[in-house]
Structure 1
Amino acid sequence: CGRLFSGELSRDVEMIPSATSPIGVMLRKATLELQMQLELFARVHAKSSADTRGETPLPRKRKETRKDGERDAREKKKDEGKDKDGGVGGRGLEEIGSRRSEDEWRERLSELRPFDARLAAVQRGFLLDGHRGVGKSCVLNYLIPWARENNWLVVYEPLPSRYAREIGDIKRSSAGVYIQSSFSQEFLERLGRFNRRLLEELPVARRCYGQAALDGVHRLYAERSYHSLLEKALEKDLDEIREQRDEELKRGSPHSGKDADLLDSQLREEILLARERLALWHTYRREVSIPSMKSRLPNPASVWEIAEFGLQNEAFATQALYEVWEQLKKQTQLNVLIAVDEWNECFPVSEYVSMRYEGTRFNGHIPAFHLSTPRLLSRFDDAQQFQRGLKICATSWRRSNRRDYRPDLLGVRQEEIRTVRNFSPLEFANFVAYYHKKKILHEFPREKLDYFYMLSGGNGFQARRLLASLY
């Protein structure tokens, strides 16, 4: 069956046997390649975590062979020692023991070196590209159930464009990010619907918990917006200190003994003011408090408790979403798959308008990547930050014309791009035959195969629309 429907098998179409149907499943080459990458990723990281725990004993046959060889060597040395001096031959046994440990380490290193190279060679992200209707979303729709069936934690976003086009409340933060609390709650709800059991098993990494602000940016970055206010307060206090010291100089008040040895009075005043500035800066900075969910949820037992807190408190939903995202980056227990369809929709301008963008190249519209939810999904290079995660993004040209663009500017390397193309004539014939075997098409005339290939151009979406409406 595989050869019958394969056509140009090495190029783009493969038939996989089905356990529930006499007719197999037709898959694209990109689907099989990415599935193999997921299997390799899971296998390599499972071996890595087992090696970290010290749970990788040598194979049984190798251990038995090694023990037999060591036993024979010990008996041989023992007999030689007895023949030589009538003793046990202790020195010979010590040499055997040292050689044995050295051989064990050499074999262990020889096993680790290719494994480490293989672990470094595992890719962390892929971008599915191609013209409209070639089947990029179908590739994702096959990989996601497969990953869930194999106990992966899957974070799937099928429509990032809705966050930039649908109506919702937004609030601008001091860092320039527009908070979308309601959309963040919907994202968390969908995440928990499929992954609640796995999230409940994940412990919280305390070192990175509580570092996000309400808009999702890092807490230290959010504090920078208050620096200008602190500078104004500092200058006001320093002016008062200068006036006070000028009055003391006029009255002839002596300086402290600590600075009496300073001859230059101007330098002495600058040093004293610098000390006052530093002390005031630390005092005011301690008074700046960034709102955080950590004050209300100080000790979550699992990652799910963070997500549940965001579902129950809309004001902290965006912060909870970013906290969960950061926890998924740090965890090493589960395989994580981040799947984003319509990834290119995270970058055009949104339907929201703002006076802050008047006179800019955005023409008054807020860019989608300045909204909190698309901003979370827009970074492709953050796939390298997941210690045990893999990211697959797919482009979509449903709303805009496909044009030349440069994925390398978005952190996508050339070897990470997988292009899904249109069917060739033989692949299109196999596609039609497969639909006929599945009883999706009825009484399709074979002589019109080339005609419909010309009409559809080998595009899967156009072919399905034509064939479904006529046959």
Structure 2
Amino acid sequence: MKKANFFIRKFNTYNIPSISNNTKVHKIYRETIKKNEDDLHKIFNKELVAYPYDEDRYKKLLNIEVSKEKRNLRDFFFNCEMYINVENDKIKNISLSDFNIENVDKYFLFEKEYLHKFFSEGLAGELHKDILMHNSDNDNYEIFLNELKEKNLYDKNKIKNFERMKGVGLLYRKLTYEIINELKYCEEGFKLKEQRDSYNLDNYFLQKNSFSPYYDKESINENNYELNEEMKINSSTTNATINNINSCKDSNKIYSYRNRSILIDGKRGTGKSCILNSVILWAKLNNWFVIFIPDIKKYKFDINNIVRSNTNLYIQPELSRQFLEDIVKVNENFLREIKVNREILYNTCLDGTHLLYNKRIYDDIIKKTVDTEIKGDENYNNLNEKEKNMFRQKLYKFYYDNVKIPNLLDKFSMPSNLLELATIGINNAAYSNLCVYALFEHLKKQTKFPLLIAVDQFNYNLSVSEYLSINFENTKYNGYIPTYYLTIPKLLLQWDTSKYKRCFKIVATCWDRENRRDFRPELLGIQKKEVKTVRNFTLREFKNYVSHLFNQNIIYNFDINKLEYFYMLTGGNGFQARKLLTTLY
């Protein structure tokens, strides 16, 4: 039985009218239909997305109609309300009142010429690139005015001085506001001198009027009655003070620091260094003693002369001298008011270690010298055991006291204040590292000023440097010196704010060359409550960020109606957004 063959005619979905001749018009028409079919196929296979340049074609193919009102350019570009310190279209001086909750997500604007007033040590992060690339062109401003004229939105009274809003911007974020509140808490908490719980008990034993803290048996009977009466009075006053302390606790009074160390961590481009710059700005306006290290990578990568000490530490004399210059440049008035302690200078060695720790290296040599001298002494065997120990200890003390370790006081006279001490280190690079460590030892004991130590790129202290040493051959470091064996990074790496009487330490990480997942801060003694993770920008922060880039001629011809699209594409990450927008616009 024969099978029936059916012929199926192709159905023309596009209802194309029949064209008999093969003309050029027919050829272009067929190519256009084929292109639309290919685009639909790509959309189905998720190969074509709504990229900015294909977005209109994408919506047209899928019959997507978006009735979205276009934004007003005047609310987006050259808007004074996005800047904190811009008033009447002019940059004004920054005050402490500007650091409030209402100004969160806005920008501080600094003129390039006056930036050294606040950040003479330099800026953390990549803001120094904005300074180098900053120009005074008004290309975007002229385009902005032309668009306003076309849309009849031009107003001379409101936008006559917009071209003056040029400078380096600093985004004021919510985490900055929280850290500043903790700094205020610490400053106010130190000023409140509340009575300790054991104050009355100590006062009882340390009174020198009626009785001394130590007395013999004969005086006990004489002062027995007075002691009993004094104990009754002290017990009543103790109960009263306990009630006062409890009432103070109920009234939410401050007794101690809330947090004295903070580690700012987060992915690259989230704004860690920007937060650090904002906190430094507040501290300097509030008359804090600020030690700011914006670029710690130079101790690791910059090749300078290094000197190995007896304790296997490596001194960088020139970089130590530059570090002292940066401290003096900002805190000259504070250093002049702090007096120098002679004992600290005497016990500090050239590599910053304590004198007793440095002398410990010579213990084996001294013991061998003592044993050699005892063997040559004929009268030693005639002594008894006690006399032998005394003789050995005297010999050991004699040689131990004669070990000479280089010291600052051997060459220079006693400086009166820390400014003179820092000047000695600046003028004599060989003693600069000693002056740095002695200065930090004095700052641990001072209580005159609130101290802020801020370090950017903190994680660079934990890897190997570019310096080579034979001492690290055939080790896991492959001959490279670990950065924490260099004296200045070793000093800044220590998580030791508990040793300071009045100090707050803030450090930030940097992940432009290293892997963040290998970072384990708990090995340094950093607790979880001391780590603050910075997230990507919110939509409002991202909008102000993009507007600032446009105002400073970093990007051009940006379509404000595609703001949410780029926020979704970059995830609100500042580094990714700037990289993408500068490429496209």
TM-score higher than 0.5: yes
Q: Which SS does the other structure have where 1:183 is aligned?
A: helix
Q: Which residue of 2 aligns with 1:125?
A: 261
In structure 1, runs of 5+ residues without a counterpart are 6-10, 53-100, 247-254, 260-267
Query: Within 5 Å, which residues of 2 pair with 1:67-466?
Result: 109=245, 118-241=254-377, 268=384, 270-380=385-495, 382-424=496-538, 427-429=541-543, 431-432=545-546, 443-466=557-580
What is the aligned residue count? 394
Which whole-Å deviations, capped at 9, do the CAs of 1:239-276 have from their partners, x for residues lacking one? 112x5657xxxxxxxx5xxx7xxxxxxxx3x4443222
Q: Which SS does the other structure have where 1:392 is aligned?
A: strand
Q: Which residue of 2 aligns with 1:14?
A: 104
Task: Report the alpha carbon displacement of residue 234 of structure 1 after superposing the two structures with TM.
Answer: 0.9
Q: Which residue of 2 aligns with 1:29?
A: 174
Task: Report the alpha carbon displacement of residue 114 of structure 1 after superposing the two structures with TM.
Answer: 6.6
Task: Report the alpha carbon displacement of residue 283 of structure 1 after superposing the two structures with TM.
Answer: 0.8
User: Aligned letter for 1:40?
Assistant: Y
Distance 2:332 2:183 in 1: 22
Q: Which SS does the other structure have where 2:255 is aligned?
A: helix
Q: Which SS does the other structure have where 2:104 is aligned?
A: strand
Structure with higher RCO (Cα < 8 A, 6+ apart): 1
Bigger Rg over Cα: 2
Task: Report the alpha carbon displacement of residue 158 of structure 1 after superposing the two structures with TM.
Answer: 1.0
Q: Which residue of 1 aligns with 2:188?
A: 43
The alignment's TM-score, normalised by the length of structure 1, stands at: 0.75
Question: Hey, which of these two has a bigger chunk of helix by percent?
Answer: 1
Distance 1:336 1:469 in 2: 43
The alignment's TM-score, normalised by the length of structure 2, stands at: 0.61
Change (3 A) 1:430 1:192: closer
Distance 1:225 1:25 in 2: 50
In structure 2, runs of 5+ residues without a counterpart are 1-74, 76-80, 83-100, 111-160, 197-236
Contact 1:205–1:330 (CA under 8 A) maintained in structure 2: no
User: Aligned letter for 1:343?
Assistant: F
Task: Report the alpha carbon displacement of residue 16 of structure 1 after superposing the two structures with TM.
Answer: 5.3
Which whole-Å deviations, capped at 9, do the CAs of 1:134-180 have from their partners, x for residues lacking one? 11111111111221111111101111121121111111111111111
Task: Report the alpha carbon displacement of residue 355 of structure 1 after superposing the two structures with TM.
Answer: 1.2
Q: Which residue of 1 aligns with 2:51?
A: none
Change (3 A) 1:281 1:384: same
Distance 2:394 2:582 in 1: 76
Contact 1:15–1:25 (CA under 8 A) maintained in structure 2: no
Change (3 A) 1:357 1:428: same
Q: Which SS does the other structure have where 2:376 is aligned?
A: helix
Contact 1:383–1:390 (CA under 8 A) maintained in structure 2: yes
User: Percent identity over the alignment?
Assistant: 36
Contact 1:347–1:367 (CA under 8 A) maintained in structure 2: yes
User: Aligned letter for 1:32?
Assistant: Y
Report the more deviating stretch, 409-418 or 16-25.
16-25
Q: Which SS does the other structure have where 1:210 is aligned?
A: helix
Change (3 A) 1:184 1:115: farther
Which whole-Å deviations, capped at 9, do the CAs of 1:175-215 have from their partners, x for residues lacking one? 11111111110100111111111111122244534321110
User: Aligned letter for 2:182?
Assistant: Q
User: Aligned letter for 1:185?
Assistant: R
Change (3 A) 1:184 1:437: closer
Which whole-Å deviations, capped at 9, do the CAs of 1:424-461 have from their partners, x for residues lacking one? 55653454356567886554213433442344332112
Change (3 A) 1:139 1:244: same
User: Aligned letter for 2:511?
Assistant: W
Q: Which SS does the other structure have where 1:458 is aligned?
A: coil
